[in-house]
């Protein structure tokens, strides 16, 4: 299946508005009901492409000049009305998820699940979760980009409705900024460092993971300590803020891992940068990193220091301090998982599928999450080191997840996709002495699709790039087979589950938002220049050089006037060669094709001359 990101994003928008905007009214919620994460995902499906891709901007000027965007958005009205509707929906979100004292709400709500120990209590459903912090981070940045752009447009508008809208925008921006600050603080206080003793069960699991050669334990501990030494030092120096760490991070008798727990760490200290509730509220999450929540936290933090964010000057001074603190944690985490996944001199721990976490669980989803960390680290360094081995792991995970091969009846791989893996939120049982909470994660295919497309940007050889694009095509086809096919939500995701493909199934905004992210990544990947390896460039240069030489030989024999057909043909060939030479390092195959056309025409002239001589 071919990835066509612009058309597929427009189709997603069309389906989104058909299910969300009914009879002139906006309908919140999907399959899992309303909560601070699901409603943010519903908004993000519109705002993220509009602020990440210039061709999808939803400011009035852009809508007026892009016919396909205008056609999709026509259900919301004309240029100003589209902006007004989106501003109103952002206001509604902030009204719903702000408490009476003006503090943002980040509760998991209906996303918390029963994992066999009883239904979550009302108080437990109010627990705040990293997924909400991270999604709010991305939503606030997208909202600020959209609102600032609309604000700049409205300054020059004199229509009364534009002036009213301008007042709403001016009042909304500080509210978005407040939530952004709280989300950043929540993520800082949810970052954890786990240092179990090597003799503990968790320490033993880490040793089993990294010891792929059966080496003596003492040697493995020494080698692991050396590999992680700089990361431990960085953790001790940079990651004290917001934590009450009373352990020696350089103790080589202790294992080391870092990342994000499901919520605020039970050992988290207070934050001094701001005085909101999240800066001091108690945490309940056990201080063990979760690969899923670490992954979503890193994705949200990446939006903080993306180039588009830095150019927009979106942050206040205290937010810049928080952003820098989060960036240090993100870099530390990425370095740790990139190092541990490739530790040793033989088989990587990552290649020993499935990945084993320190609590003894094993899952292909966790293998994919660690692979995602590694790909992101390679992207940021623009390195192809170990890319081929990483792609091999991706392909193996695609086979194990039955994305490449078909499922069989009662296939255990089907559980990766529905209901997905179930995370147990350790520490949640401390609330009301209630049951331990669960959290379903079903984005295995979209995660593989997104990382395959990102890794394709790095590929420097045709074979690796084709493998990645083939993986992406297989994952996209798998997702298309999961799209809802009937009712208002046709074209959204997904049709798995007991009511997935009924006459009017409600969408999963969790999965639809992930699919939207994949299409944005595909759009960015396809806007990059095509692959141009040294071999390809040399082949193009060689063909252009031969053609130049033959052209010069033909010019030696020209005695006709400039307006003669022969001279004009040689001038046209020269233009082909000039164009080929100008793109030979960027589009070598195109340059080769132009040179080949020039060679064909030169040969036709040579043959005609020889025939005339005979």
Cα 250 to Cα 231, 234, 242, 367, 404, distances in angstroms: 10, 10, 20, 27, 44
Calpha distance 513→221 (Å, rounded): 42
Q: Band the pLDDT of 567: cuts 50, 70, 90.
A: confident
**pLDDT tens-place string over residues 233-243:** 888 877 755 45
Residue 552 has pLDDT above 90, yes or no: no
Give burial (CB, 10 Å; 0-12/13-18/19+) of 157.
middle
**pLDDT tens-place string over residues 261-300:** 999 999 888 887 777 889 889 999 999 999 999 999 999 9
Calpha distance 588→532 (Å, rounded): 6
CA angle 208, 210, 212 (to 5 degrees): 80
**pLDDT tens-place string over residues 69-79:** 999 999 998 87
Q: Band the pLDDT of 499: cuts 50, 70, 90.
A: low
What does the pLDDT average to over 438-442? Answer: 95
Handedness of CA 462, 467, 473, 475 (dihedral sign): negative
What pLDDT score does 209 carry? 95
**pLDDT tens-place string over residues 586-595:** 888 888 899 8
Residue 258 has pLDDT above 80, yes or no: yes
% of the chain residues with pLDDT over 70? 94
Q: Band the pLDDT of 342: cuts 50, 70, 90.
A: very high
What pLDDT score does 407 carry? 81
What pLDDT score does 345 carry? 87
Q: Band the pLDDT of 168: cuts 50, 70, 90.
A: very high
Calpha distance 116→137 (Å, rounded): 32
Residue 41 has pLDDT above 90, yes or no: yes
Of 133-147, 446-460, 471-485, 561-575, the poorest mean pLDDT is in 561-575
What does the pLDDT average to over 459-466? Answer: 86
- 162 Cβ contact partners less than 8 Å away, ≥ 6 residues apart: 80, 154
**pLDDT winner (highest mean) among 33-47, 58-72, 521-535:** 33-47
On average, the pLDDT of the chain sits at 89
Of 150-154, 339-343, 609-613, the poorest mean pLDDT is in 609-613
Residue 65 has pLDDT above 80, yes or no: no
pTM (predicted TM-score): 0.89
What pLDDT score does 246 carry? 62
Looking at residue 112, what DSSP letter applies?
A: E
Instruction: Output the furthest CA–CA distance in the chain (Å, rounded).
Output: 103
Calpha distance 314→537 (Å, rounded): 42
For domain 5-197+256-527, which architecture applies? Alpha/alpha barrel (1.50)
Do residues 417 and 444 lie in contact, with contact meaning Cβ atoms separated by under 8 Å?
Answer: yes
Q: Coil, strand or helix: which one is 113?
A: strand
Classify strands 421-425 and 437-441 as parallel, antiparallel or unpaired. Answer: antiparallel
Do residues 283 and 263 lie in contact, with contact meaning Cβ atoms separated by under 8 Å?
Answer: yes
Do residues 360 and 411 lie in contact, with contact meaning Cβ atoms separated by under 8 Å?
Answer: no
- In the chain, list all ranges with CATH 1.50.10: 5-197+256-527
- 354 Cβ contact partners less than 8 Å away, ≥ 6 residues apart: 362, 363, 364, 366, 367, 400
């Amino acid at each position: 299946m071919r990835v066509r990101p612009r058309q597929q994003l427009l189709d997603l928008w069309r389906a989104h508005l058909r299910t969300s905007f009914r009879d002139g009214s906006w309908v919140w919620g999907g399959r899992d009901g309303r909560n601070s994460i699901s409603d943010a995902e519903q908004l993000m499906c519109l705002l993220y492409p509009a602020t990440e891709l210039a061709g999808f901007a939803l400011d009035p000027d852009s809508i007026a000049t892009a016919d396909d965007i205008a056609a999709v958005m026509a259900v919301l009205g004309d240029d100003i009305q589209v902006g007004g509707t989106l501003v109103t929906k952002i206001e509604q979100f902030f009204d719903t998820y702000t408490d009476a004292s003006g503090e943002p709400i980040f509760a998991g709500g209906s996303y918390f699940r029963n994992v066999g120990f009883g239904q979550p209590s009302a108080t437990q459903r109010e627990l705040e979760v990293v997924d909400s912090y991270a999604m709010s981070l991305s939503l606030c940045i997208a909202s600020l980009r959209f609102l600032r752009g609309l604000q700049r447009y409205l300054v020059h508008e004199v229509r009364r409705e534009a002036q009213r809208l301008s007042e709403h925008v001016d009042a909304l921006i500080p509210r978005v900024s407040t939530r952004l600050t709280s989300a950043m603080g929540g993520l800082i206080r949810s970052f954890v460092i786990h240092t179990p003793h090597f003799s503990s069960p968790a320490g033993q699991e880490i040793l089993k993971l990294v010891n792929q050669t059966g080496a003596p334990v003492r040697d493995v501990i020494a080698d692991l300590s050396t590999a992680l030494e700089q990361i431990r030092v960085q953790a001790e120096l940079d990651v004290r803020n917001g934590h009450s760490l009373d352990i020696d991070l350089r103790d080589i008798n202790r294992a080391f891992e870092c990342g994000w727990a499901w919520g605020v760490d039970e050992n988290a200290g207070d934050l001094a940068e701001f005085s909101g509730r999240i800066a001091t509220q108690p945490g309940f999450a056990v201080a063990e990193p979760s690969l899923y929540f670490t992954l979503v936290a890193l994705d949200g933090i990446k939006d903080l220091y993306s180039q588009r964010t830095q150019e927009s000057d979106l942050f206040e001074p205290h937010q810049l301090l928080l952003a820098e603190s989060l960036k240090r944690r993100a870099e530390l985490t990425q370095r740790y998982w990139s190092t541990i996944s490739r530790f040793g001199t033989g088989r990587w721990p990552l290649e020993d599928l499935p990945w084993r976490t320190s609590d003894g669980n094993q899952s292909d989803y966790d293998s994919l999450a660690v692979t995602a960390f590694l790909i992101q680290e390679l992207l940021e360094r623009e390195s192809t080191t170990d890319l081929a081995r990483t792609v091999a792991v991706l392909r193996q995970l695609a086979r194990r997840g039955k994305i490449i091969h078909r499922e069989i009846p009662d296939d255990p791989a089907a559980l990766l996709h529905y209901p997905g893996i179930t995370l147990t939120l350790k520490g949640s049982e401390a609330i009301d002495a209630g049951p331990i909470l669960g959290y379903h994660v079903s984005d295995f295919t979209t995660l593989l699709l997104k990382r395959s497309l990102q890794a394709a940007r790095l590929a420097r050889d045709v074979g690796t790039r084709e493998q990645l694009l083939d993986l992406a095509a297989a994952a996209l086809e798998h997702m298309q087979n999961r799209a809802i096919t009937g009712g208002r939500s046709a074209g959204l995701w997904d049709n798995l589950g007991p009511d997935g493909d009924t006459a009017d199934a409600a969408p999963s905004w969790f999965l639809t938002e992930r699919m939207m992210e994949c299409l944005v990544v595909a759009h960015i990947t396809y806007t990059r220049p095509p692959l141009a390896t040294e071999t390809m460039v040399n082949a193009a240069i060689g063909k252009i050089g031969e053609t130049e030489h033959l052209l010069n030989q033909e010019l030696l024999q020209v005695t006709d006037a400039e307006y003669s057909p022969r001279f004009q043909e040689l001038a046209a060939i020269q233009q082909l060669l000039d164009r080929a030479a100008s793109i030979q390092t960027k589009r070598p195959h195109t340059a080769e094709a132009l040179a080949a056309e020039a060679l064909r025409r030169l040969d036709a002239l040579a043959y005609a001359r020889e025939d005339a001589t005979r």
